[in-house]
A and B are shown apart, each in its own frame.
Chain A
């Protein structure tokens, strides 16, 4: 049974800090407090699930590029470019300006016939499903210096 040292960061990783910062935006003026937070851009990350051999692998969209080299993954998780909240010494805070969805792309290697030379297998996109939401943030000066 695993042991847990502490509660993980809230919703979608560093969004914990984002939410805290968002709350702070409301609370800060009244309390004269500043969260000293800044937005940091996080690049898109694509991770692939278990790969099956599939001869006809050709797929390109939204940064995913599959080939005979990559094989055919069961799924790919696409975390979009978004912003993370980092602490800073400066008197700044973050404001949410928008969001982007995280997406799971499901693939299947379709083989119409079990062939010794698997010529006609094709890695096909079956479904793209949003699975989460990531923030777009900007850094602004705290309103109460």
Chain B
């Protein structure tokens, strides 16, 4: 029974042992030849397809007991067992070499080097059953903010080992039904997360939105959430892990959705911001509990927290649902260009449709400005189309200004300049000095075209507006940067 129910890890180890046994005679021969070579030293031959590189031989020889040949006067030096750190260093060097070849446009060389890195990585994972734990120890001991490229390279490889170890043990658990190895390793990862910022990144990468976190880890995850409240762990990491845990508990039937909702409801009005954020995100994702979460947010009126929730909602929910929640949060949230930008990047068409509906009904001009910002700054054809529509047809000057920002940032020079000059002639828009300053800042977006004539024309026109000192300083700075000699005459002439 035991033999017929081997785990993949056991199977891999068995294969390695079999391979080793098969190659033992060959290794003995290599050892004998090496002894002869020591007696008559010569330049080592370059590895060929027939003779594998010495590093590969060393890898296979790793578990072999030293068998000193008797023919040599001095015993040969057996290939030293390569440590975990040796292999990590080798991978770091391979990574660096691959990158250098790629940068030199040696694509074949880079591809070969990359393949070698993958092969060596697989060897590392096969040679060390505890590679994940070793990598964790290495990451915990790593300098928090490495500046030296070598340290950064080691960190990259160690991160890869941890993430791979998680995935492989999860696959083993799925195959064998025994979750204890993956559960133990996940515990180790969770315990290492507070060690430094890099570990938090690794932990989130290995565990967030993955199926590894289960009921066995609930206490550890809640501990991290507690630490996040004290600033010892990034709040985003703690929140992501708690949400993942809850998703997994429900997905794998370890806790019902009603029980999880009850837990979230208990936490949503708590004092701990990470718990509150996770609870809010959990409740807002479920239409049945969305109204309760919104009511809690509106009652509390914590604007900074609501802004965090808005960003999370823009990332988590389907864009249509996210826009609905953002609308509900509106009175408490105020303007939220970032959340709308996230939506605009995810699905510009949905944001554009929402804008067009509000424009057709001529309602909620301020929400229209948010929508134009969200889709217009997302650098898509849809965004430009919406911005053109808004500039031409929206009755709100605030929305028209938002359209000018989008067009100057992302349209061609001719369209951008025309939008700016049209806005400068828009009496309703320029009636407010703050919006005039906005036009001066929008002009900065034209600088990327490098057209001095366009900048000169626009600064002269905008200089005639009722700008604040900040707006005038912005215009002067643009002229200084864009015009030869900084522009001989200051802007501010008549229309």
Query: Is the CB–CB distance between B110 and A9 below 8 Å?
Result: no
Q: Does B471 contact A (CB under 8 A)?
A: yes
Q: Does A61 contact B (CB under 8 A)?
A: no
Q: Does A107 contact B (CB under 8 A)?
A: no
- Contacting A50 at CB < 8 Å: which of B99, B345, B379? B345
What is the total number of residues of chain B having a CB less than 8 Å from a CB of chain A?
78
Known: A8-B330, A75-B341. A119 touches B442 (CB 8 A): no
Question: Which B residues from 101 to 117 make CB contacts under 8 A with A?
Answer: 102-103, 107, 110, 114, 117
A113 to B325, CA, bound (A): 40
A131 to B107, CA, bound (A): 40
Known: A47-B311, A50-B345, A69-B198. A116 touches B442 (CB 8 A): no
A20-43 CB mask vs B (1 if < 8 Å, else 0) is 001000000000000000000000
A116 to B434, CA, bound (A): 50
Chain B residues contacting A113 (CB-CB under 8 Å) are: 98-99, 102, 107, 110, 114
Chain B residues contacting A119 (CB-CB under 8 Å) are: 95-96, 98-99, 153, 156
A103 to B99, CA, bound (A): 33
Shortest beta-carbon distance from A129 to chain B in Å: 4
- Contacting B409 at CB < 8 Å: which of A19, A69, A98, A131? A131
Q: Does A60 contact B (CB under 8 A)?
A: no
Main secondary structure of the interface of B (DSSP, over half): helix
Query: Is the CB–CB distance between A101 and B444 below 8 Å?
Result: yes
Q: Does B335 contact A (CB under 8 A)?
A: yes
Q: Does A87 contact B (CB under 8 A)?
A: no
A13 to B338, CA, bound (A): 13
A9 to B401, CA, bound (A): 16
- Contacting B342 at CB < 8 Å: which of A50, A99, A101? A50
State which of B8-16, B40-48, B166-174, B361-369 sits at the interface with chain A: B361-369
B151-172 CB mask vs A (1 if < 8 Å, else 0) is 0110111001000000000000
Chain B residues contacting A133 (CB-CB under 8 Å) are: 401, 434-435, 437-438, 441
Query: Is the CB–CB distance between B334 and A13 below 8 Å?
Result: yes
User: What residue in chain B is nearest A1 (Cβ atoms)?
Assistant: B324
Question: Which A residues from 81 to 136 make CB contacts under 8 A with B?
Answer: 96-102, 104, 106, 112-120, 127, 129-133, 135-136
Query: Is the CB–CB distance between A115 and B156 below 8 Å?
Result: no
Q: Does B63 contact A (CB under 8 A)?
A: no
Chain B residues contacting A102 (CB-CB under 8 Å) are: 337
A119 to B153, CA, bound (A): 7
Q: Does B82 contact A (CB under 8 A)?
A: no
A136 to B315, CA, bound (A): 31
Q: Does B433 contact A (CB under 8 A)?
A: yes
Chain A residues contacting B220 (CB-CB under 8 Å) are: none
- Contacting B98 at CB < 8 Å: which of A6, A96, A115? A115
A115 to B117, CA, bound (A): 9
Main secondary structure of the interface of A (DSSP, over half): loop
Q: Does A68 contact B (CB under 8 A)?
A: yes
What is the total number of residues of chain A having a CB less than 8 Å from a CB of chain B?
59
Known: A8-B335, A11-B366. A132 touches B157 (CB 8 A): no
Shortest beta-carbon distance from B403 to chain A in Å: 11
Query: Is the CB–CB distance between B335 and A9 below 8 Å?
Result: yes
User: What residue in chain B is nearest A75 (Cβ atoms)?
Assistant: B341
Query: Is the CB–CB distance between B379 and A99 below 8 Å?
Result: no
User: What residue in chain A is nearest B367 (Cβ atoms)?
Assistant: A8
Query: Is the CB–CB distance between A19 and B445 below 8 Å?
Result: no
Question: Which B residues from 325 to 373 make CB contacts under 8 A with A?
Answer: 325, 327-328, 330-331, 334-335, 337-338, 341-342, 345, 363-367, 369-370, 373
Known: A113-B98, A117-B157. A131 touches B342 (CB 8 A): no
Chain B residues contacting A115 (CB-CB under 8 Å) are: 95, 98-99, 102, 110, 114, 117
Chain B residues contacting A71 (CB-CB under 8 Å) are: 201
Chain A residues contacting B160 (CB-CB under 8 Å) are: 117
Chain A residues contacting B323 (CB-CB under 8 Å) are: 2
Chain A residues contacting B438 (CB-CB under 8 Å) are: 99, 101, 132-133
Query: Is the CB–CB distance between A96 and B434 below 8 Å?
Result: yes
User: What residue in chain B is nearest A18 (Cβ atoms)?
Assistant: B434
Q: Does B469 contact A (CB under 8 A)?
A: yes
Known: A115-B102, A115-B114. A99 touches B405 (CB 8 A): no
User: What residue in chain A is nearest B201 (Cβ atoms)?
Assistant: A69
User: What residue in chain B is nearest A78 (Cβ atoms)?
Assistant: B338
Chain B residues contacting A44 (CB-CB under 8 Å) are: none
A107 to B2, CA, bound (A): 54
User: What residue in chain A is nearest B144 (Cβ atoms)?
Assistant: A69
User: What residue in chain A is nearest B198 (Cβ atoms)?
Assistant: A69
Known: A74-B345, A115-B102, A117-B117. A132 touches B367 (CB 8 A): no
- Contacting A15 at CB < 8 Å: which of B110, B377, B379, B434? B434
Chain A residues contacting B401 (CB-CB under 8 Å) are: 11, 133
Query: Is the CB–CB distance between A127 and B448 below 8 Å?
Result: yes
Quick one: which of B327, B441, B448 has the most chain A CB within 10 A? B441
Query: Which 6 residue pairs across A and B have the least CB separation, nearest first?
Result: A2-B324, A117-B95, A13-B334, A113-B102, A120-B99, A98-B470
Q: What residues of chain A have their CB less than 8 Å away from a CB belonging to chain B?
A: 1-16, 18-19, 22, 45, 47, 49-50, 53, 55, 67-69, 71, 74-75, 77, 79, 96-102, 104, 106, 112-120, 127, 129-133, 135-136
Known: A11-B434, A22-B432. 12 other contacts (CB 8 A): A4-B330, A4-B364, A11-B366, A12-B335, A69-B145, A77-B338, A97-B468, A99-B434, A99-B437, A116-B121, A117-B92, A127-B448
